[in-house]
Structure 1
Amino acid sequence: MPALSEGQEPAAVSAPPAGVPAAAAASGTQIPPREAAAARRASLDALFDETFTRYRLPGLAVGVVENGQVVFKRTAGETRAGSGEAVTAETVFKIASNSKAMTTALLARLADAGRLDWSDPVRKYLPRFRMNDDWVTREIQLRDLLIHNSGLRAGAGDLMLWPEPNHFSRADVLAGLAHLKPAYSFRSRYAYDNLLYIVAGEAAAAAGGASYEELLRREVFQPLGLRRCQVGEWRRDEVGNVAQPHMRKDERNIVIRADDKVIPAMASAAAGGVRCSLDDMLRWAQVWLDAETAGADGRPWLSRSQREVLWTAQIAMPLGERQRRWDNAHFSAYGYGWRLSDVDGTLKVSHTGTLAGMYSVLTLLPEKRVGFVVLINGDGSEARTVLNQVLVKHYSAPQQGVSVAALAGELARERGPAAAADKAAPARSPVKPREAAQWSGIYRDAWFGDVEICPQRSTVYFRAAKSPRLSGPLLRQDGRLLVDWDDDSVDAEPWLDFAPAADGKPAGLRLAHVDPGADFSYDYPDLDFVRVGDCGRGG
């Protein structure tokens, strides 16, 4: 068969479309286009319905692109449980870390325009930028901001970003980096990072001569027609049709962290603060599956050389046993804002996005000219994993007949029996003010700021000055102190370990996860508090 030039469509794909019987494809039987499309639609409808029902999601939006065309688009559920407002293809969801690929695309546009180079030192654009190590400060390049090789532990400093909203600014983030001590050598290994994407956004702003938000709208949203995507400050009711995040509680979907009328600009925008609709994300998928995509001016939106850079493996990622088993994968790496791996002999380019009550995934199989998007506004971690994997296998190995039920069952077996059902929760008791007299006071961390541990009526409360959702009473469990956060959506409780001092009052405070498996963005190990004052007096 003669080689195809770039951008030329093959006469047939190597695997049958989803839903086309593998036996028919293997026998060479020609499936009429209309029947093939109907079979594909029925198969994808079944996957969608089973996922939505099995996981009792408040809202779900799914779309598939084949050969440049949207061939499947389904939505179900509500933007806010009980509201009656249906999720549609124009509903705006938080895409969380899928924002990272938009940030790297913005930098690539600036590179195409000659405004920056990937190997430029960060301090060329941000002279006051500092890491904890002076050598790293001098040597770190723009490219290093994007590939999770800084030497910081996974999620370092994320408490300046989440739980949201909080009072940390981008200036706070940049200043805080100087106080975050590395866990590994610079450029020695992969450890997922969010803060340096914020630095990348600020470097883009310096190179582009406008704010990150203005540049993203100008260089990405507008030329590509991503008309519902939102970044920066905007008004909820003017935009309309905005999905709210949910958590599962008492067998119901409960709205958490609901938007106010004005959605403020977020410090974390470049790392995970963009919101888009299903239609926008399908357009975004089409852009990456078509190297000839033009902007609104009719010229190429991004050069081929910059596209290649973004999808070039920059640092190796761990290749887990499940990924080897499910994908028959041989490599896993991070590009610029994209995860790269192989599945059944074909390239997979993807990223996920996770925020409290919001889950997204965008997956591309470029050699098959296929891509798909999943957006969820509830507790959707497993639903995202399962549905995305079934969609991948429907195109990479349709003959395997991978199903939602089979993968869900496998994950249930991995988890094992539900410990909570078999074991009573440990006894906890409130800490009384007189019991906590020696611990009460104001504590300060160099990057996180102040917290107070002070009496409140008959209890003792922990309050973070710049992160209002990190507030709750002290409890005692098994002889140790912990904080039970008031906000149920903040699901990682910390142990409190006080360092003694000669005068009987603690000199400092460290936090540790009660649940060792808690999300790494609750980066308690990076906190090192020093006592600076008494309750009511400050430092």
Structure 2
Amino acid sequence: MDLSPDRRVLLKSIGLGAAGIAGISVLSACTGETAHPASQASASLLPVPPGQIEPLLDRAKVTNALAKLDGLVQDAMGQTGLPGMAVAVVYQDEVVYAKGFGVREVGKPERIGPDTVFKLASVSKPLASTVVAGVVGRQLIKWTDPVIESDKGFALKDDYVTRSATFADLMSHQSGLRTASGDLLEDLGFDRSYILSHINQEPLDTFRSSYNYSNFGYTAGGEAAAKAMKMSWEDLADQILFRPLGMSASSYRNSDYEKASDRAAIHVPLGNKQWAAKYHRDADSEAPAGGASSSVRDLAQWLRLQLGNGSFGGKPVIDPTALQTTHVPHAVSGPASSPAARSRFYGLGWNVSYDDQARVQLGHSGAFNLGTATAVAMLPGEQLAIVALTNGRPQGIPEAITAGFLDAAQHGAPTVDWLAFTAGIFKQLDDSEKPKVDYSKLPSNPAPARPNNAYTGTYANSYYGPLVVLDQDGKLALKMGPAGNPTTFPLAHFDADTFSFESMGENGNGLAGALFAGSGGGTAPSVTLDFYDKTGLGTFTRIS
């Protein structure tokens, strides 16, 4: 999901990004509802088949909640200054709400509507599992097939895992790839092919008994499904999902987002309710996991498909058994912390949980630190779903809207100040992401550096590729990234053989350190970049 590694770990621990409170799971956790009496009735009296849960909502309750939705959105935007948002609601196979609020870009007059295209970030994942379910339904693959049978180039660090990892393993984050594996390569500009061919250097956690949210593990599953169909991932999504549902504004290509005439720019907060459109975010390399763009009008059609068990407009589109497999728990994403607590689960591209009435809840959040936050939430047994898309850096806003709406549908009005709740969680996450070393605070008496030529030269790294340290008019800089489009990072002296540079991209979190080995005379034999060394791969060895 397109968050910094620390943010992802914490989001997963509380459930916002991949496991639980994305919209509706927060609701059941905080409202303390008791079991509905009808659930205890005899099977012969139930209005639904045995083993299913009787719906507790009706159209009047949903209509009442819809009447409050404008106010929820306007209040959230007023409190935060968020530039824009779009929301859609589906109930009983009908799009009962689709509306835009605010502007596409700060300082420009164009308004957001239900057809405005947003970057989806990790809401791309449940879209992607729908696409792969379409391939499963065509009997070209099974969820339990090893992906290497479809993608001969697939490889992870352990040979057994490489041979055994299935589509379900990868798309439930149980391959053993750790959170953020490959993400820093993406930030540097490497493409999907390079990243997927290098994640076999990433250390693995325990296979199938650990849960680690991994964008590129998920992407590897989607890519293998596309190869089984002998087409690109982007074309596969068009053929299986977007065209059959008439989702003409939806795509897994960044170029399609960029050329859309009605699109929302991405924004970061400047403070005091001010926002700026400072960045671009190209997520093509992780397209199945985070590269989709769409409008709420399009996504409402997809939600109809989800609630319709794979049928759309009365016609089957996705095999219902294959689709239902994405909705059931595959991994324990948040083990219960006490005997009375609930565990949280991850399906295939969906957070899965159960409320006090035993109703299944499905949802997912998406977030780009460079300027996008999204959320989708469903109560399938109630035939009710909501999606909220925003054009601002994650602060818990779409999660507050989806949770607030579903809370109002069940209780007449929100029972929790959802924005305060989710904003507080995101503030904790932001505070947790500060670098371990504050390179902005120089030592009171720093040791001098060696001459520049002790550091300049070329250093090799099998994961990140070569790094070149340059002397530019007496000041050092390092250059790394794809050969055709490397990034240059100016270096500032910190202390002795340690320099600082500004980290970049989706995972950037301020100043980082370049720690050159050796001391005294001679040239440095190696350099370690602490920001790129989170899994022990950040040391570059001099070759010239």
TM category (shorter chain) comes to 0.7 to 0.9
Once the 2 structures are TM-superposed, how far is the Cα of residue 367 of structure 1 from its aligned partner? Answer: 1.8
Native 8 Å contact 1:428 1:476 kept in 2? no
Amino acid at match of 2:300: L
Residue 478 of structure 2, aligned match among 433, 441, 462: 462
Unpaired stretches in structure 1, ≥5 consecutive residues: 18-32, 514-521, 535-539
Partner of 1:23: none
Once the 2 structures are TM-superposed, how far is the Cα of residue 237 of structure 1 from its aligned partner? Answer: 7.1
Amino acid at match of 1:136: V
Partner of 1:303: 319
Native 8 Å contact 1:60 1:77 kept in 2? yes
Once the 2 structures are TM-superposed, how far is the Cα of residue 372 of structure 1 from its aligned partner? Answer: 0.9
Residue 99 of structure 2, aligned match among 71, 74, 82: 74
Once the 2 structures are TM-superposed, how far is the Cα of residue 228 of structure 1 from its aligned partner? Answer: 0.7
Partner of 1:375: 389
Counterpart secondary structure, 1:362: strand
User: Bigger CA drift: 271-280 or 100-109?
Assistant: 100-109
Q: Deviations over 1:323-361 (max 9, x none)?
A: x9xxx9612111111111123433210111112201111
Task: Find the aligned partners of 2:200 and 2:431 in 1 and give their Cα distance.
Answer: 44
Residue 52 of structure 1, aligned match among 77, 87, 90: 77
Counterpart secondary structure, 1:454: strand
Amino acid at match of 1:337: G
Give me the TM-score of the superposition, normalised by structure 1: 0.80
Residue 268 of structure 1, aligned match among 277, 280, 286: 286
Q: Report matched runs for 1:3-18 at 5 Å.
A: 3-4=47-48, 14-15=56-57
Task: Find the aligned partners of 1:105 and 1:417 in 2 and give their Cα distance.
Answer: 35
Task: Find the aligned partners of 1:193 and 1:417 in 2 and give their Cα distance.
Answer: 22
Amino acid at match of 1:506: A
Once the 2 structures are TM-superposed, how far is the Cα of residue 307 of structure 1 from its aligned partner? Answer: 2.1
Once the 2 structures are TM-superposed, how far is the Cα of residue 50 of structure 1 from its aligned partner? Answer: 0.7
Partner of 1:527: 537
Residue 177 of structure 2, aligned match among 137, 152, 163: 152
Counterpart secondary structure, 1:268: helix
Partner of 2:469: 453
Native 8 Å contact 1:101 1:338 kept in 2? yes
Q: CA 1:238 to 1:95, structure 2 compared with 1: closer, same or farther past 3 Å?
A: closer
Partner of 1:347: 360
Q: Report matched runs for 1:116-515 at 5 Å.
A: 116-162=141-187, 166=189, 168-182=190-204, 184-232=205-253, 234=255, 239-249=260-270, 251=272, 252-258=274-280, 266-291=284-309, 293-294=311-312, 299-319=315-335, 330-345=342-357, 346-355=359-368, 356-398=370-412, 401-404=415-418, 406-407=420-421, 411=425, 426-428=440-442, 436-466=452-482, 471-477=488-494, 480-485=498-503, 490-500=508-518, 504-513=522-531
Q: CA 1:136 to 1:460, structure 2 compared with 1: closer, same or farther past 3 Å?
A: same
Once the 2 structures are TM-superposed, how far is the Cα of residue 100 of structure 1 from its aligned partner? Answer: 1.5
Amino acid at match of 1:283: Q
Once the 2 structures are TM-superposed, how far is the Cα of residue 143 of structure 1 from its aligned partner? Answer: 1.9
Partner of 2:20: none
Unpaired stretches in structure 2, ≥5 consecutive residues: 1-44
Once the 2 structures are TM-superposed, how far is the Cα of residue 229 of structure 1 from its aligned partner? Answer: 0.3
Q: Deviations over 1:202-261 (max 9, x none)?
A: 2112211211111110001011121210223645675311111111225432112348xx
Task: Find the aligned partners of 1:293 and 1:361 in 2 and give their Cα distance.
Answer: 23
Larger RCO, structures 1/2 (Cα 8 Å, 6+ apart):
2
Task: Find the aligned partners of 2:367 and 2:292 in 1 and give their Cα distance.
Answer: 12
Q: CA 1:150 to 1:230, structure 2 compared with 1: closer, same or farther past 3 Å?
A: same
Give me the TM-score of the superposition, normalised by structure 2: 0.79
Once the 2 structures are TM-superposed, how far is the Cα of residue 274 of structure 1 from its aligned partner? Answer: 0.9
User: What is the identity percentage for the equivalent residue pairs of Structure 1 and Structure 2?
Assistant: 24
Native 8 Å contact 2:344 2:353 kept in 1? yes
User: Bigger CA drift: 452-461 or 270-279?
Assistant: 452-461
Native 8 Å contact 2:151 2:227 kept in 1? yes
Task: Find the aligned partners of 2:431 and 2:159 in 1 and give their Cα distance.
Answer: 49
Counterpart secondary structure, 1:178: helix
Once the 2 structures are TM-superposed, how far is the Cα of residue 465 of structure 1 from its aligned partner? Answer: 2.5
Once the 2 structures are TM-superposed, how far is the Cα of residue 502 of structure 1 from its aligned partner? Answer: 11
Task: Find the aligned partners of 1:307 and 1:136 in 2 and give their Cα distance.
Answer: 25
Q: CA 1:257 to 1:412, structure 2 compared with 1: closer, same or farther past 3 Å?
A: closer
Task: Find the aligned partners of 1:250 and 1:371 in 2 and give their Cα distance.
Answer: 33
Native 8 Å contact 1:432 1:460 kept in 2? no
Task: Find the aligned partners of 2:431 and 2:333 in 1 and give their Cα distance.
Answer: 30
Native 8 Å contact 2:203 2:535 kept in 1? no
Amino acid at match of 2:110: E
Task: Find the aligned partners of 1:488 and 1:331 in 2 and give their Cα distance.
Answer: 30
Q: CA 1:140 to 1:461, structure 2 compared with 1: closer, same or farther past 3 Å?
A: same
Q: CA 1:418 to 1:525, structure 2 compared with 1: closer, same or farther past 3 Å?
A: closer
Q: CA 1:43 to 1:292, structure 2 compared with 1: closer, same or farther past 3 Å?
A: same
Amino acid at match of 1:269: A
Once the 2 structures are TM-superposed, how far is the Cα of residue 116 of structure 1 from its aligned partner? Answer: 0.8
Q: Deviations over 1:253-274 (max 9, x none)?
A: 2112348xxxx89222111111
Once the 2 structures are TM-superposed, how far is the Cα of residue 396 of structure 1 from its aligned partner? Answer: 4.8
Amino acid at match of 2:489: G
Q: Deviations over 1:88-139 (max 9, x none)?
A: 1111111111112222222211111111112222221122322111222222
Once the 2 structures are TM-superposed, how far is the Cα of residue 471 of structure 1 from its aligned partner? Answer: 3.9
Native 8 Å contact 2:526 2:539 kept in 1? yes
Native 8 Å contact 2:524 2:542 kept in 1? no
Q: Deviations over 1:173-209 (max 9, x none)?
A: 2220221122x22222101101122222221122112
Amino acid at match of 1:113: R
Q: CA 1:86 to 1:368, structure 2 compared with 1: closer, same or farther past 3 Å?
A: same
Amino acid at match of 1:339: N
Counterpart secondary structure, 2:168: helix
Query: CA RMSD for the aligned pairs?
Result: 3.7
User: Bigger CA drift: 333-342 or 396-405?
Assistant: 396-405
Amino acid at match of 1:507: P
Task: Find the aligned partners of 1:452 and 1:416 in 2 and give their Cα distance.
Answer: 32
Amino acid at match of 1:175: S
